[in-house]
Amino acid sequence: MWSETDTDIARLRKIGRGSLRAGALIVAIALVSLMCGCTRPVKLICPSLMTYSASDESTLRQELASAALPETHRFVRDYGGLRDQVRACQAAQ
């Protein structure tokens, strides 16, 4: 028949399985809580744009047309692209 140690071992195994199930349940609850935190709406934060007058833009256009400065032209094009991205960000809000 069953000895005292066999009963203790069976009892410990049963307790171990219960602990494992409780641990798995805690992990599952933690994961669900973390995943629920990701469903909050994301608020976009867009930088503000400096507005330039039509005369400022005209002056810049004339200065760029009069000089053969390829790097300056490239930087201004990049800046124009960034301004377009900021406008798109602001329109999405």
Residue with tokens 């028949």: 1
In the three-class reduction of DSSP (H, G, I as helix; E, B as strand; rest coil), residue 67 is classed as coil
Structure confidence at residue 13 (pLDDT): 59
Which carries the bigger pLDDT value, residue 34 or residue 71? 71
Cα gap 18→79, rounded to integer Å: 62
- Cα distances (angstroms) measured from residue 13 to each of 4, 10, 16, 20, 59: 14, 5, 5, 10, 84
| Start-to-end CA span in the chain (Å) | 75
pLDDT at 79 over 80: yes
Average pLDDT, integer, range 33-42? 67
Cα gap 42→44, rounded to integer Å: 6
pLDDT at 71 over 80: yes
Structure confidence at residue 56 (pLDDT): 93
Average pLDDT, integer, range 46-66? 91
Structure confidence at residue 88 (pLDDT): 92
Residue with tokens 């960000």: 89
Residues written for the chain: 93
Average pLDDT, integer, range 10-32? 66
pLDDT at 46 over 60: yes
Cα gap 58→79, rounded to integer Å: 16
